[in-house]
């Protein structure tokens, strides 16, 4: 994924920028212009406000989301393409 995909530029050269608008038990950051990583480090479901264009990596079979929020299950981690701010 890192070397031969449309994500290569963001994954290899993209800047890291923390996302501070998430619950305390979630680690989140932007990577490059279009990608974001969210990791729920708790044993409780966490709600994240935001919209996802596409899910690239997910350690669960399903990501529960709607038009305005993402629902992370306990210990769920995702790499997603996000809508521009």
Interior angle at CA 35, CA 7 and CA 79, nearest 5: 90
Mean pLDDT of 69-85: 90
User: Domains of the chain by range and CATH?
Assistant: 8-82 (2.60.40.1180)
At residue 43, the pLDDT reads 98
In tens, the pLDDT along 8-53 reads 888 888 999 999 999 999 999 999 988 999 999 999 999 999 888 8
Sign of CA pseudo-dihedral 40, 83, 17, 11: positive
At residue 1, the pLDDT reads 55
**Which residue, 49, 11, 50, 52, is CA-closest to 31?**
11
Half-sphere CA count of 3, side-chain side, radius 13 A: 0
At residue 2, the pLDDT reads 52
Q: Which tokens sit at 56?
A: 């690239």
Give this prediction's pTM: 0.89
């Amino acid at each position: 994924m890192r070397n031969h995909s449309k994500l290569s530029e963001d994954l290899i050269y993209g800047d890291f920028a923390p996302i501070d608008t998430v619950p305390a038990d979630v680690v989140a950051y932007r990577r490059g212009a279009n990608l974001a990583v969210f990791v729920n480090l708790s044993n409780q479901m966490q709600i994240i406000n935001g919209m996802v264009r596409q899910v690239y990596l997910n350690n669960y079979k399903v990501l529960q989301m709607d038009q305005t929020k993402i629902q992370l299950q306990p210990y769920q981690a995702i790499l997603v393409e996000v809508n521009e701010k």
